[in-house]
Amino acid sequence: SGLKSVRLPESLTEIGANVFCGCNSLTSIVIPKNVTKIGNGNIFTYCNNLTSIIVDNDNQNFDSRSNCNGIVRKSDSELIATCRTTTIGNDINALGDYCFDGTTIHFIHIPESVVEISEYAFGGCNEIDKITVAPGNQKYTSPKGSNAILSKDGKTLLLGCRTTVIPEGRAFFGRYSKTVLRIPENVKSIGMDAFARCNAIFEAILPKSLQEIGGFAFQNCANLSVVQLLAPITISDYTFAYCYSLSTVSLPEGLEGIGCRAFYDCKSLKHITIPSSAIKIEKNAFENCPVSEKE
């Protein structure tokens, strides 16, 4: 955390994943010309004071085009590493896995050029206040006032933030937080890791229209205490893992399965209704749970 400067030699050819994670005193860095491989995800995770990322102009594999303060892979114009001053320019086509992971950003604008956003591109970005998408983008949209990224057909919410307004009647998966989370009817899918670490959620009401809930969907929601699942679907692996305040869960008749460690380490879980239709419950579904009442 005290590392203030780094000089990387020209002989360097590879930079591993997470190599600068938590270097809070680092303010600038230059990637030398012979680097041909950079590890997956944002190599500058939690580098909160980093404001300048420059790639040597002679590097054949990566660049920091238009002074975006990030690292872009030349072969497909994908942004792979960022800092808090990174801008997504019109010459960037894709946002890579975890490319903004652990970066403190408050505003996101997706330009027309971006045609692919990784499912985890903004993982760990918990300070986002505003999200916009260029009107001319052919794949994504952001309806006025929604503060969200949706698919062009409006049926899938890809990214939300703490000020997101979910359009009624649309299937979605994304990050969102309210004191009582009421998913609108007709929503069919909640994606993997969709509401993970949304600490503002105290109660979640999941509608009958749901056809699937992705793994880890509500993991680590520290204040989630009550879940009402109305849809007779299988609960995926780790869906509610590490929800330490979760105490009451209602599951509907027709539900057939509960996945691996679905309620792992839910230390407050004492009341849960298991329907007679549940024919497959993984043996570690309730591992580290002090469940005292089951029906």
pLDDT, one tens digit per residue, over 213-231 is: 989 999 999 889 999 999 9
Residue 144 has pLDDT above 90, yes or no: no
Residue 200 has pLDDT above 90, yes or no: no
CA dihedral 107, 153, 212, 254 (to 10 degrees): 130
**In whole angstroms, what separates CA 40 from the centre of its chain?**
15
Cβ–Cβ under 8 Å, residues 120 and 97? yes
Q: Is 119 exposed, middle or buried (0-12, 13-18, 19+ CB in 10 A)?
A: middle
* Mean pLDDT estimate for the chain: 88
Q: What are phi and psi of 293, to 5 degrees?
A: -135, 115
Whether pTM > 0.75 for this model: the answer is no
Q: In this structure, is the dihedral angle defined by the CA atoms of residues 236, 239, 242 and 243, taken in order, positive or negative?
A: negative
Q: Give the mean pLDDT of 180-186.
A: 81
Of 70, 107, 112, 75, residue with least CA distance to 91: 112
The pLDDT value recorded for residue 177 is 44
The pLDDT value recorded for residue 174 is 46
Q: Which residues of 3-15 are buried (b: 16+ CB within 10 A; e: fewer)?
A: eeeeeeeeeeeeb
Token digits of residue 172: 């979605």
280 beta partners? 257
- Only one residue has tokens 């309620």, namely 263
Question: Which of 123-127, 184-188, 254-258 has the weakest average pLDDT?
Answer: 123-127
**Span 34-92, pLDDT tens digits:** 999 999 889 999 999 999 999 999 999 999 988 899 999 999 999 999 999 999 999 99
Go through the chain and tell me how many residues it has.
295
Q: Which amino acid is at 185?
A: E
The pLDDT value recorded for residue 162 is 72
Instruction: HSE, CB side, 13 Å, CA atoms: give it for residue 258.
Output: 25
- Only one residue has tokens 């993970």, namely 196
C-alpha span between 98 and 120 (Å, rounded): 5
